[in-house]
Amino acid sequence: MLLKRNIKQKTSIYIFYFLSIIAIAYGLMYLFKNDIMSYHYAFLRMDKTQINDFNPHTIKLMLALMKVSGACFVSVGVTAFIITAKPFKKGERWALWCLISLFSLSLIPMFFVTLNIANNIHSGGIKPPWQLTLAMIILLIIAILFSLNKKNK
């Protein structure tokens, strides 16, 4: 049975799909990257040669952590996409709480970590995209507010 949705409910569905796709894309980027990000080098204030001279296992460890983070974000994105596509679109209330949990438990810590890293990179250095994370949090809040409709059960 299709639910009659207002514009806010439809918008929240599209926002959750968008957030899911961004999470998957971000995760895939981290999962398949063969080198640490340029902002990692800027944060460490070392280039690849300096890091390898210091300890050749450092980059291997950072890449492994990036791949774990990437896999987690792909998982969050795929799970959120499936929840949005089926139960959330059907108006299942628990689905909203799952989406809130998935995104807030990943985006909020990510925001503070990337902001901290950005604040500790010297001026002119390449910084992590903390603004993207903040934009995703704002979109999440909008989707939540648009989803909170007392007529939904």
- Say how far apart CA 77 and CA 35 lie, in whole Å: 23
Helix 7-32 × helix 57-83 angle, to 10°:
160
pLDDT in tens, 30-42: 999 999 999 999 9
pLDDT band with cut points at 50, 70 and 90 for residue 123: confident
pLDDT in tens, 30-88: 999 999 999 999 999 999 999 999 999 999 999 999 999 999 999 999 999 999 999 99
pLDDT surpasses 80 at 149 = no
